[in-house]
Amino acid sequence: MANGTIAMTDLPVPKAEKSFFEQSTNKHSGILSWLLTTDHKRIGLMYMFGIISFFLVGAIIGLLMRLELLSPGGKIFSAQTYNSLFTLHGVIMIFLFIIPGIPAIFGNFFLPIQIGARDVAFPRLNLLSWYVYIVGAILALTSLFLPGGPIDTGWTFYIPYSVRSGSNVSLAIFAAFILGFSSILTGINFVTTTHRLRAPGMSFFKMPLFVWATYATAWIQIIATPVIAITILLVIIERAFGVGIFDPALGGDPVLYQHMFWIYSHPAVYIMILPAMGVVSEIIPTFARRTIFGYKQIAYSSLAIAFIGYLVWGHHMFSSGQSDTSNWIFSLLTFLVALPSGVKIFNWVATMYKGSIDPQPPFLWVMSFIVLFSIGGLTGLVLGALATDIHLTDTYFVVAHFHYVMFGGTGTIFIAAFHYWFPKMFGKMYNLKFAKIAVVTYFIGFNMLYFPKFIMGYLGMPRRYYDYLPMYTPYQRISTYGSWILVSTLFFIVGYFIHAYFRGKKATSNPWGGVTLEWHIPSPPPVENFKVIPVITHDPYDFSQLKEMKDE
């Protein structure tokens, strides 16, 4: 019997069983049954609407920037507009899309199910964190339309410029402050849920790796986010009351600001990537139908990354006059922290060895991820080395590197996760042929958009420029053409998912042959997830259960 008692209770799925879409958790129906829900699945979907909307807005802003850069001369927007565009693009993509992205949607939806729980530990806190996210987003939007105009400091808000700028810096960074709390609340919820609500028999080393990754991420959210909150408050105090904290004109220290900013923002890079790594560790075993290679190594390396990740922030400041000693120490630590990520890639590829591979769309997205993320990681080595970093920092090389890591890495897996879990979440199947086409055009568009930026960076093209020297024109052209392919692909993907939701074929409860707990329950799941809490007897990726599950 697959995973103890669950198979039995799950056996005759009565037609009458209502899914979480059909059954409200409160006395309301309609929109209020959503806005006041405490069901982790509904909250996950509410996050989904917010996060995807912002992702598309961010992508359109990216498209506009690329349009400006199609040819030299700054013909389309004013310099001020371009400066606000890249700031908004950065703020939206970082704070509203990539940081909450996977944990808030898929963590909320699947973490409780994967450990055999009925909900998160604090369901109402969970709803609160969604509202905090929305309030933060509304504040950020409001700052665009108030006198002073949209923020133009870059998403790093470096002092002294962010104290001098006449744009609405205070409100915009206050929005980031609020969003931080949403992140902290989610983190607390996930840590507690993982510790307290695991089903009987589910020891830590029986947890799926997505749970491990989300759990490690939650710790970073709790520990690192307060640092940015404090930093932001200090900047607001400095702007509002002229207290000298960071601005040398008032007796402050601008390098202190950079330290505090990166003490959060480097670990935040792991908030972005770890959950994605967790999703990869789910998808590969399912489609290779064998256990993951090096389960413990992957689980521990998530924790290692989470904690060593705090010690390398200084690699963002190699050219800012930091002492040579700090520089070499940060450089060395950066190289060392790169190792666990590299090892994970080897583990994933090794998991394909002697598997029985069925390259369905989620798997194809993961293959695309492995290439794009490897390019991002390997170019990170170029930036970790001091001599080359001095040349390349603050150029397009960095812009290319972080898009490969964040977008090619986490963004690709965000899309992969939808392809993997969509049938479970909505009970519908999408068009597999469309999905396969999208993988290909995405990969082509992505590389056209970002690869030329590595070359431009090496040739000396600085970032955050609304105009450029004519020598860069051919590369900028290719990059802009790539953005057209890529962004159309994004809309194509959204389109076929919407189509699938309304017109798609009904999905079975286990279309891919997965064995983690979410594949044992109906699609879409009922409100309570499990009628009877399962007793866990199998390892998470033990596909011998599959036979028994088929008979369920």
Residues that bind ligand HEM (CB under 6 A): 59, 62-63, 65-66, 86-87, 89-90, 93-94, 97-98, 154-155, 399, 403, 406-407, 411, 449, 463-465, 483, 486-487
Distance (Å, whole) CA 189 – CA 199: 17
Q: Which stretch binds another protein (CB under 8 A): 152-160, 305-313, 443-451, 517-525?
A: 152-160
Q: Which is nearer to ligand HEM, 4 or 409 (CB)?
A: 409
Closest CA relative to residue 310, chosen from 255, 271, 345: 271
504 touches 467 (CB < 8 A):
no
Pick out residues in 75-104 that bind another protein (CB under 8 A).
Answer: 79-80, 83
Tell me which of 42, 89, 198, 266 binds Cu ion, using CB under 5 A: 266
CA distance 6 to 552: 10
Rule CB under 8 A: which of 308-327 touch another protein? Answer: 319-321, 324, 327
Residue among 437, 453, 539, 446 nearest 492 (CA): 437
Neighbours of 52 (CB within 10 A): 18
Q: In whole angstroms, what is the distance from residue 91 CA to residue 102 CA?
A: 17
| Cβ-Cβ contacts under 8 Å for 257 (sequence gap 6 or more) | 158, 159, 231, 235, 246
With contact defined as beta carbons under 8 Å apart, do 284 and 348 qualify? yes
Cα separation of 198 and 204, whole Å? Answer: 9
Q: How many CB atoms lie within 10 A of CB 432?
A: 12
By a kind-dependent CB cut-off of 5 to 8 A, residue 152 interacts, out of Cu ion, ligand HEM, another protein, none, with another protein
Q: Which is nearer to Cu ion, 467 or 548 (CB)?
A: 467
Q: What are phi and psi of 505, to 5 degrees?
A: -70, 150
Using rule CB under 8 A, residue 511 touches another protein: no
Which of ligand HEM, another protein, Cu ion, none is residue 327 near (CB under 5 to 8 Å by kind)? another protein
* Stretch of 12-20, 159-167, 265-273, 347-355 lying at the interface with Cu ion (CB under 5 A): 265-273
155 binds, among another protein, Cu ion, ligand HEM, none (CB under 5 to 8 A by kind): ligand HEM
Residue 335's binding partner among ligand HEM, Cu ion, another protein, none (Cβ under 5 to 8 angstroms by kind) is another protein
By beta-carbon proximity to ligand HEM, the closer residue of 287 and 468 is: 468
Give whichever of 110 and 295 is closer to another protein, judged by the CB atom: 295
* Rama region for 513: left / alpha / beta (φ>0; ψ in -120 to 50; rest): left
Q: Closest residue (Cβ) to Cu ion? A: 266
Helix/strand/coil for 526: strand
Biggest CA pair distance of the chain: 74
Q: Is 183 in the site for another protein (CB under 8 A)?
A: no
Q: Does 468 bind another protein (CB under 8 A)?
A: yes
| 385 binds, options ligand HEM, Cu ion, another protein, none, Cβ within 5 to 8 A by partner type | another protein
Site for another protein in 447-466 (CB under 8 A): 458-460, 462-466
